Amino acid sequence: MNLRIVFLLAFFLVAGNTFPPLFAQEAHKECFRIVGSTSHDFGEIEQTDTVEHTFVFENTCDEDVEIAYARASCGCTAAVISDKLLAPGEQARIHVKFTPTRGSRGRVSKVIRVFLEGEEKEHSMLRIIATVRTDIDIQPSYIQLKDLTVGERVSTKSTITNTSDKEIFVETTGVNFLAYVTDSETGGQLTKQMDGGTVTPTEMRLVPGEQQDFIIEVTPMAPGQFNGSVGLKIGQSAAVIYVFGVVKGMEAQQE
């Protein structure tokens, strides 16, 4: 048999087994599509709200399309698919439910990735946006402390401002500090509760526009890293002040 004919037969045999799935995947990107926008803005919501939105997909392909799953970027967001296997002309709804995490405030954005069966890369990416209302502004809400010394008490502060049009009552709900230290025997890392973390005052009442400082104090008892949090309650809402620290090792202290 002519070598050219053999080559052509082999080429079409391989092409017949390989190309159609690839073409089908590319076709799905075009003919399986969302109806409307891939994003939705809920506008302003309360910290205690749960908001919902439904995205609609339509199969305009000439063959069945199967949705594998929809993956949200945060545990605060749930995505439920109405139908996974869609015949040509059918629609599927992805119902998204969002509840702000504790301490959320301001503009937040979450992503839901939609995957089709047999494809490693997401077919499409959905986005939900919301502005979580809050009665207070916290500056800073993340505090980074460096070059601390073992046994030496450190003090820092965060300023709370009433940004609402009414008087508010702010109270602390808990102070928690965890230290990450190296085990001298195993060399592994241990997590230990740090005692003695305090906040002053423990509560405050602020009129509109008024601001006041929370003084946060802690005494590191071992070299290494630690992190802490101060929980705040403002009416039905909540907020958190985060504190991170790096404590100098014993060698650095002796130099």
168, 235 in Cβ contact below 8 A? yes
**Dihedral (CA of 12, 17, 23, 27) sign:** positive
CATH 2.60.40.10 is held by the domain 136-254: yes
203 or 221, greater pLDDT: 203
Give residue 223's pLDDT. 87
110, 77 in Cβ contact below 8 A? yes
Provide the edge-to-edge strand list for the sheet that holds 124-132: 39-45, 124-132, 106-116, 65-72, 85-86
Asked if the model's pLDDT at residue 227 lies above 50, the reply is: yes
Could you tell me what percentage of the chain is helix, strand and coil, using 3-state DSSP and rounding each to the nearest 5?
Answer: 15, 55, 30
Asked if the model's pLDDT at residue 1 lies above 70, the reply is: no
Question: Minimal CA–CA distance to 192: which of 150, 230, 224?
Answer: 224
CA 6/CA 25 separation, integer angstroms: 30
Give residue 192's pLDDT. 84
The full set of domain ranges for the chain reads: 34-132, 136-254
34-132 adopts what CATH topology?
Immunoglobulin-like (2.60.40)
Give residue 29's pLDDT. 61
142-145 contact pairs (CB < 8 A, 24+): 142/242, 142/244, 143/216, 143/241, 143/242, 143/243, 143/244, 144/244, 144/245, 145/243, 145/244, 145/245, 145/246
CA 166/CA 237 separation, integer angstroms: 15
- Same topology for domains 34-132 and 136-254, yes or no? yes
| Mean pLDDT, all residues of the chain | 84
128-182 pLDDT, tens digit each:
999 988 888 899 999 999 889 988 999 999 999 998 889 999 999 999 999 887 7
- Its pTM stands at 0.62
Residue 14 host element (H or E): helix 3-31
224, 146 in Cβ contact below 8 A? no
CA 143/CA 229 separation, integer angstroms: 10
> Average pLDDT, stretch 199-225?
93
| Angle, CA 97 vertex, CA 163 and CA 32 arms, to 5° | 125
Residue 26 host element (H or E): helix 3-31
* 85 confidence band (pLDDT: 50, 70, 90): very high
